[in-house]
Amino acid sequence: MSRNLIIGSLLTALFILLAAVSFVWTPADIETLDIQARLQTPNATHLLGTDHFGRDILSMIMMGARTSIAVALVAVGIGMAIGIPLGLLAAARHGSLLDELIMRGNDLVFAFPSLVIAILITAVFGASAVNAIIAIGIFNIPVFARLTRGAALPLWERDFILAARVSGKSATRISVEHILPNIINLMIVQGTIQFSLGILAEAALSYIGLGAQPPTASWGRMLADAQTLVSIAPHTALVPGFAILLMVLGLNLMGDGLRDWLDPRIRVVRT
Amino acid sequence: MIRYVLGRLTSLIVSLIVASIVIFAVIEVIPGDPAAFMLGVNARPDTIAALRAEMGLDQPLITRYLAWVTGLLQGDFGQSWTYKTPVADLINDRIWVSLPLAVYALILSTLIAFPAGIYAASRRGDAGDVTIMGATQLGVAIPNFWFAMILVLIFAINLRWFSAGGFPGWGDPLQAIKALTLPAIALALPQAAILARVMRSSLLDMLGEDFIRTARAKGLSRRQALWRHAVRNALIPVLTIIGLQFSFLLAGGIIIEQVFFLPGLGRLIFQSISARDLIVVESVVMLLVFTVIVVNFLVDLAYAAVDPRLRTKA
């Protein structure tokens, strides 16, 4: 295992752990406000300080990790659940009208500036974590569809697929039983990268007020609240920012490390 | 080449048509009546009816779509409900913040990424390469709006070199550029990190090619071979990324404008969203999508002009 994989996995595990622990315990209750204790710098009672309502920032980071991970995970899930079958289908029917339609549809979604459309969706349907998930998820679909098709096409030329076809298996069964297991590593690596992009997108949407709504804690919202306080209480902006940075960095390092570990030949798409 | 251009042109037109339908549909599917949505909960029924007529909502869907699209084609973006002025005028006021910001950021990103990528590739594996690659990992992971806040904290609040936000207008171009500098850096740096990585890997691919070996065998030094032959060829994939980046910068600008209180298209969108001025939202989003699709189209053409092999592939 490479150094990247170890550092990346540790960072990712740290945030998953923080999120998991927040279900049973946080250092303080983030729904009770304690104005007396507002804007404290990190100290023994509040390890990462407090915000403008006197809420414990560490507790909010833990709750925010939950939101970030949930949103990004479901968004990647949507991308995989729809994108991979579409890609498999396009590859199985290579050259057909269906293949052409799927690929052109992908190009089309790719051509859209994802953030603008995410803003449009959340503006119209209302700002919420669920709409943020949908907005981010939609743009994960073409990523996985394209990657799946690209990886599946050369496999269809291989002898073991030919053998499966001769033995009478349908294209669907071949896709599921033979193609999918051979491309799953690639999907895991790309999934890690999309996960990190999802964290960034969720933070950006929440920052502009179109993601998770209060009282749901979110790193992006914490940064939005901190914006006017940055000169008097820099820690309110530094802490959530570093949380996003470290989580995304961890996922990216893990993705790179996983790629080298699982299969050095595969390449991921990063835009 | 002509066939290729025609093919791309067809997909450009199809993309634009589909984009306009999607955007129109999203605005249309708002649960309930857009007029009621825009006027809020306390609106009187006769006010809603008046606005419905003013917005043409009593017309059938197709008529309204066609009217909107024909308007767009003629530069008529409709009338803003809150500002009581043509949307085209609103856009015209703000585009001169958003567009220069995106271009400025693109220039910065390229200026940072090219030397960094070329240096890293030429020193593959040594300390300089490792440092640059480490820095790009950070650059990819930084949320740009947070980076913008940090820049404000350091350069505006502590050092007082720049103002923390606002835009003085183009009356004094130097001041205008100065006001756009921190936002452009915030936008450019994460993109520069991606671009530097692409530049490096593209260059490393080239350095492994036969024509580099030939150049070396002919007596060129590593450095000469790199600059005279590899860099030029490595630029081809980099070109596509630059094209893609323009759309990221234009869209990313929407958020950065919020951080620096810049009166650009991004702020216009948000103000219109909170004012429920859907006509403005619809038209500005369409304009951004249009720009992105057209830029991607132009990049495809440039790409094909540089690399003839691609004309047949597509």
Q: pLDDT digits over B162-196, tens only?
A: 888 888 888 889 999 999 999 999 999 989 999 99
**Residue-wise pLDDT tens digits, B72-123:** 888 888 888 778 888 889 998 899 999 999 999 999 999 999 999 989 988 8
The pLDDT value recorded for residue B32 is 59
List all residues of chain A from 180 to 209 with a beta carbon under 8 Å from chain B: 196, 200, 203-204, 207-208
Cα–Cα nearest to A68, from A253, A236, A250: A250
The residues pairing with B79 across neighbouring beta strands, listed in sequence order, are B86
Model confidence at B314, in pLDDT bands (50, 70, 90)? very low
Query: Could you give the percent of chain B with pLDDT greater than 90?
Result: 24
For chain B, say whether A111 makes contact (Cβ under 8 Å). yes
Q: Do A253 and B137 touch (CB under 8 A)?
A: yes
SS3 A56: strand
Chain A residues touching residue B149 (CB < 8 angstroms): 223, 226-227, 230, 237, 241
Instruction: Please indicate whether, in this complex, the C-beta atoms of A111 and B146 are within 8 angstroms of each other.
Output: no
Give the relative orientation of helices B231-260 and B278-306 as an angle to the nearest 10 degrees.
Answer: 170
Question: How many angstroms separate the Cα of A167 from the Cα of each of A88, A174, B288?
Answer: 20, 11, 52
pLDDT at B42 over 60: yes
Q: What is the ipTM of this complex?
A: 0.87
Selected residues 148-187 of chain A with any CB under 8 Å from a CB in chain B? none
CB-CB neighbors (< 8 A) of A240 in chain B: 146
Residue B219 distance to chain A (closest CA, Å):
33
Q: How far is CA B298 from the centre of its chain?
A: 14
Say what the pLDDT of residue A271 is: 46
Is A261 touching B (CB cutoff 8 A)? no
**Minimum CA–CA partner of A117 in chain B:** B285
Tokens 């183009």: give the residue: B170
Q: Do A108 and B251 touch (CB under 8 A)?
A: no
Higher-confidence residue: B68 or B102? Answer: B102
Closest CA to A251 of A79, A72, A131: A72
DSSP letter assigned to residue B75 = T
Contact flag A112-B146 (C-beta cutoff 8 Å): no
Residue B268 CB coordination number (10 Å): 27
Residue ranges covered by each domain of chain B: 2-73, 95-313
The CATH class given to the B95-313 domain equals mainly alpha
Hey, what are B266's tokens? 């991004």
Looking at residue B313, what is its pLDDT?
Answer: 47
B51-56: long-range contacts, CB 8 A cutoff, minimum separation 24: B51/B81, B55/B81, B55/B279
Distance, CA of A27 to CA of B27 (rounded, Å): 44
Q: Which of B28, B146, B296 to mutate to test the interface with A (most CBs of A within 10 A)?
A: B146
Q: Rounded mean pLDDT of B51-68?
A: 79
- Residue A133 pairs in a beta bridge with none
Pairwise CA distance, residues A11 & A18, whole Å? 11
Helices (H), A112-158: 114-125, 129-156
Q: What is the pLDDT of residue B73?
A: 87
* A265 interfaces chain B, CB cutoff of 8 Å: no
Residue ranges of chain A with pLDDT lower than 50? 271
What is the average pLDDT across B277-287?
85
Q: Among partner residues A121, A246, A271, which is closest to B244 by beta-carbon distance?
A: A271
The CA distance from A98 to the nearest CA of chain B, in Å, is 17
Percent helix, percent strand, percent coil in chain B, to nearest 5: 80, 0, 20
Residue A226 · residue B150 · CB < 8 Å: no
pLDDT of residue B30: 64
Residue B307 is encoded by which pair of tokens? Answer: 């690399």
Asked if A57 has any chain B CB less than 8 Å from its own CB, the reply is no
**Beta-bridge partner residues of A56:** A50
CA distance A173 to chain B (A): 30
- Please state, as a whole number, how many other Cβ atoms lie within 10 Å of the Cβ of residue B198: 19
Interface contact flag, A113 B273, Cβ < 8 Å: no
- Distances, alpha carbon B35 to alpha carbons A117, A125, A133, B21, B57, in Å: 22, 15, 28, 20, 8
- Specify the pLDDT at position A269: 56
Residues in Cβ contact with B127 at an 8 Å cutoff, skipping those fewer than 6 apart: none
CB–CB contact B285 A227 (8 Å): no
Range with lowest mean pLDDT among A149-158, A240-249, B125-134, B301-310: B301-310
Say which residue, B49 or B144, is predicted with more confidence.
B144
For residue B192, give the nearest of B243, B232, B150, B245 by alpha carbon.
B245
Average pLDDT over residues B24-46: 73
Q: For A108, which of B15, B281, B285 is closest by C-beta distance?
A: B15
Predicted local confidence at residue B98, as pLDDT: 92
Would you state the torsion angle of the CA atoms of residues A203, A207, A211, A214, taken in this order, to the nearest 10 degrees?
A: 110
State the amino acid at position A165 in one-letter form.
Answer: R
Q: How far apart are CA B279 and CA A238, in angstroms?
A: 38
- Residues B120 and B310: their CA atoms lie apart, in Å, by 28
Give the pLDDT score at A13: 95
Average pLDDT rounded to a whole number, residues B258-276: 86
d(CA A239, CA B145): 14
| pLDDT at B113 (0 to 100) | 93
Beta-carbon separation of B281 and A123 below 8 A: yes
Q: Which residue of B has its CA nearest to A248?
A: B141
Residues in B closer than 8 angstroms to A107, CB to CB, are 11, 15
Q: Which residues fall within 8 angstroms of residue A102, CB to CB, at 6 or more apart?
A: A86, A87, A89, A90, A145, A149
Q: Which residues of B touch A259 (CB under 8 A)?
A: none
Say whether pLDDT at B249 is over 60. Answer: yes
For residue B151, what is the nearest residue in chain A, using CA coordinates?
A230
Per-residue confidence band for B312, with pLDDT thresholds at 50, 70 and 90? low
Other CB atoms within a 10 A radius of the CB of residue B152 amount to: 24
Interchain contact, B18 vs A108, CB within 8 Å: yes
- In terms of average pLDDT, the best of A107-121, B131-145, B227-241 is B131-145
The mean pLDDT value for B296-306 works out to 79
